[in-house]
Each structure stands twice: as C-alpha cells, then as structure tokens.
Amino acid sequence: MISEFYKEMTGKTSVIRDFFAYSMERAKVVGAENICNFSLGNPSVPCPDSFTKEMIRLLSEKDPMAIHGYSPSLGLDSTRTKIAESLNRRFGMDYTAKHIFPTTGAAGAIAHAVRCIAGDGDEIITFAPYFPEYIPYITGCGAKLRIVPADIDSFQINFEEFEKMMNEKVAAVIINSPNNPSGIVYTTETIDKLASILNEKQKEYGHEIFLISDEPYREIIFAGADAPFISKHYDNSICCYSFSKSLSIPGERLGYVAVNPKAKDAEMIVPMCGQVSRFTGHNCPPSIIQLAAESVLDETSDLSIYETNKNLLYKALTEIGYECVEPMGTFYMFPKSLIPDANEFCWRAAKELDLILVPGDSFACPGHFRIAYCVQTETVEKAIPRFKKLYDMYK
C-alpha cells in the first residue's frame, strides 16, 4: 500500500509553481518575451568561466576512475580542507576539514543539520518571512517548526514575539540572511541580540540551542550592507551554504554544512551527518563537482546585475507609490500588496498584465508579494510600466 502521508502531499501544489506554470502556458500564447516573469529564484547570470574551464580540464586530463568515482561519504578531503581554509581566510574562523560536510545544496545541508540536533517532540523556530521548504526538512526529523511573525517595518527579527515563543523544547533556531523573500540582511546588532537571547536561554534551560544559518545568498550583498558572518557571533552554530546562487550552478547541487568549531560536540556533527545520509539514501555530491568547486571557492559569478536590477526596480516602485523595505542583498524584493489578499493581487497582475509575481502567504507573510528580479535588466525595464498600471488599478 502506498504511503498516505506522501500521497496527501502530492495534492498540495506550491503556489510559486502554480504561478510559474501559468507563465509557461501563457508564454505559448503571447510569446515568452512578452511575459515579465519574476516567479522563480533561478540565477540569471552564467557560472564563472573558471568553473567551466576546470570542469573541462578535469574531464580531459584527470583519471576517469577518480573524477567519476564514489566520493567518500563525508566528502572529498581536498574539498573539505579547501572550504575550511577559504572560510577561515575570508571570515577569520578556525574551521578544519572535520567541520565541513559537502551536501546537495543548502537544501541537503539544512535537512542534515536539523536531523543532527533535533528529534521527536523538539521545536525549531524560524522567522517570517521564511523559506517554506523548512517544513519538510523539519517534519522529516520529527520536530515541529514554529514561525515567529514578521516585523514588517524592517524585516529584522521580531524579538518581542520570539521571546514569547521560546521554551524548553526549542532545540534550534533557523535564520536566513540575506533573506528570501525580503532581500533583507540581518545587521550585526540583530545577530548579537539573537545570540545574547540564545545564550541566556541555553543557561536557563540547561541544554544547547543551535543556530542554523541558511546562507545561499551570502555572496549577494549590496553596497552599504552590514552583513556579519553569522557563525562568528554564536558558538553553537551550523552554517548551511550553497553554491547554487553564488556560482550560478543550482543544477549541480553543491553546498555544505560548516559546523562552528566552538559548538558543543563540534567534531561529532559531521560524522553524524554521514549517518543521516544513510537514512535518507543521500550520498555526497558528485566527485567531479566537488573537485571543480574547490578550485573557485573565493570566486563568484558576475553578480552585479542583481544590484543593478534592485536599484532600478526599488527606485521605480517607490516612486510609483509601492511600500517596500529596501533589499540589501539576494535577488528578491518584497513590497506590500495593494490589497490585503496578495494571492488575488498576484493573479490579477498575471492575468491582466502578464506580470508574474508570487504572493507572500507562501512565506508566512500575507499582504506582501515577492519579486524575483534574477532576470535580464531589459525585463525589469519592461515591467516598470506594468507595475505602474497595476498600481493605477487600485489607487
């Protein structure tokens, strides 16, 4: 008999995918060039040439048995060592290979991290607006996800509500900065305040509370942002990184867990990740992808288009009259919807203007909509008059 649990899940489609699917159908009618599609967070710039060249070099010069062989279950030693060295060089940390576990993107990193530090009956707290895929990662480890309502004036942490929700069952807190969908970056002040509350609560409850830092957008930071390296500010922290956005290689599925060397049982967590993999049938990312990435760890794609698009769009939207907290990173913007029902608002934009947006309800933040401006700048330019028309429909 098939599993009722997963069967039931198949009936619940993602709203983001619904909008994307609509845009694909509509493109068949009016042509893709006439759709302003801001629904998906797919990078819009190619990976660095150096990554491509390294892949070619590996394929043409290296022993096929090595590059296509099994990776050790905890990842290639050379890749783990180089990731640790890169993080130490860039952020003044003390990681060694023992703290690094290559994963299938940030998704794999978070799914492993939560299983190492939480289980049945535990709670994990996150902050709206948040990445909805946390639900399956956390449900999968038996814990319960609790969501702190957003501070919609700044999208920094709503500490008042957070403190009310803290209790002895909380095993971990997940943050995502730079944030999908708001584009906000938590300031040093926010991170230090969070760290101080967690330190206090650890003492009060007599157990660790891990901070899982979901960082796929760490490298997409705009001028003037105060963007602390989060693990530097809290000892019991696990960084979950992805190369999907920084190197524009989301299809290669590469990321890592980096366990803070100062965390409790720091050197146990990576071997534990190896055991978690056995339960999920996960094995390390392909050897060749680990090898290619280890040669470009301090590089990124040319990410400047995202800041160009942000500047253009933020200026235009706020001049039109939209209310929006200015993003300091990522390739997302999260303005207020012009009516309380953001779902209705986004469908109207899609159906009447071929402007594809995503309602904030999916991120536990109703009344807002997400614009994923990882598109060509011409698409942003084409969309601005449509945003004006949309505004005029309501105001």
Ligand X SMILES: Cc1ncc(COP(=O)(O)O)c(C=O)c1O
Answer positive or negative: Cα dihedral of 384, 387, 388, 389: positive
Return the number of the residue (255 or 360) whose C-beta is nearest ligand X.
255
**Binding segment toward ligand X, per CB under 6 A, in 12-20, 92-100, 102-110, 137-145:** 102-110
Q: Are 154 and 185 in contact (CB under 8 A)?
A: no
Closest distance between ligand X and the C-beta of residue 339, in Å? 26
Among 107, 143, 338, 365, binds ligand X (CB under 6 A): 107
Query: Taking CB under 6 A as the rule, does residue 102 contact ligand X?
Result: no
- End-to-end CA separation in angstroms for the chain: 54
Strands 255-259 and 237-242 turn out to be antiparallel
Return the number of the residue (250 or 367) whose C-beta is nearest ligand X.
250
Within the chain, how many helices (H) and strands (E) appear?
Answer: 14, 12
Query: Taking CB under 6 A as the rule, does residue 293 contact ligand X?
Result: no
How far apart (Å, rounded) are the C-alpha atoms in residues 97 and 165?
A: 36
Q: Are 164 and 125 in contact (CB under 8 A)?
A: no
Closest distance between ligand X and the C-beta of residue 16, in Å? 10
Closest distance between ligand X and the C-beta of residue 102, in Å? 12
What is the pattern of x (binds ligand X, CB under 6 A) and - over residues 62-101?
A: ----------------------------------------
**CA proximity to 292, closest of 68, 36, 33:** 68
Q: Map the footprint of ligand X across residues 135-164, applying CB under 6 A.
A: none
Return the number of the residue (38 or 131) whose C-beta is nearest ligand X.
131
Residues binding ligand X: number (CB under 6 A): 13
Query: Taking CB under 6 A as the rule, does residue 180 contact ligand X?
Result: yes
* Ordered alpha helix ranges (H), the chain: 4-10, 15-30, 49-61, 64-67, 77-91, 105-117, 134-139, 159-165, 188-205, 266-280, 287-294, 304-320, 342-353, 377-394
Closest distance between ligand X and the C-beta of residue 260, in Å? 19
Closest distance between ligand X and the C-beta of residue 168, in Å? 28
Return the number of the residue (98 or 329) whose C-beta is nearest ligand X.
329
Among 214, 219, 252, 294, binds ligand X (CB under 6 A): 214
Return the number of the residue (105 or 335) whose C-beta is nearest ligand X.
105
How far apart (Å, rounded) are the C-alpha atoms in residues 22 and 51?
A: 34
Query: Taking CB under 6 A as the rule, does residue 131 contact ligand X?
Result: yes
Closest distance between ligand X and the C-beta of residue 178, in Å? 9
Q: Map the footprint of ligand X across residues 241-280, applying CB under 6 A.
A: 242, 244, 250, 255
Cα 275 off chain centre by: 24
Return the number of the residue (105 or 286) whose C-beta is nearest ligand X.
105
Is it true that the peptide bond before 178 is cis, omega within 30 degrees of 0? Answer: yes
How far apart (Å, rounded) are the C-alpha atoms in residues 272 and 117?
A: 10
CB-based closest residue to ligand X: 105
Which residue type, as a one-letter code, is found at position 312?
L
Q: What angle do CA 22, 27, 31 make, to 5 degrees?
A: 165
Return the number of the residue (106 or 383) whose C-beta is nearest ligand X.
106
Among 35, 41, 83, 292, binds ligand X (CB under 6 A): 41
Among 79, 176, 190, 237, binds ligand X (CB under 6 A): 176
162, 164, 168, 172: CA torsion to nearest 10 = -10
Query: Taking CB under 6 A as the rule, does residue 106 contact ligand X?
Result: yes
Query: Taking CB under 6 A as the rule, does residue 216 contact ligand X?
Result: yes
* Alpha-carbon separation of residue 182 from 175, 230, 349, 362 (angstroms): 13, 18, 20, 13
The residues that touch ligand X, with contacts defined as CB under 6 A, are 41, 105-107, 131, 176, 180, 214, 216, 242, 244, 250, 255
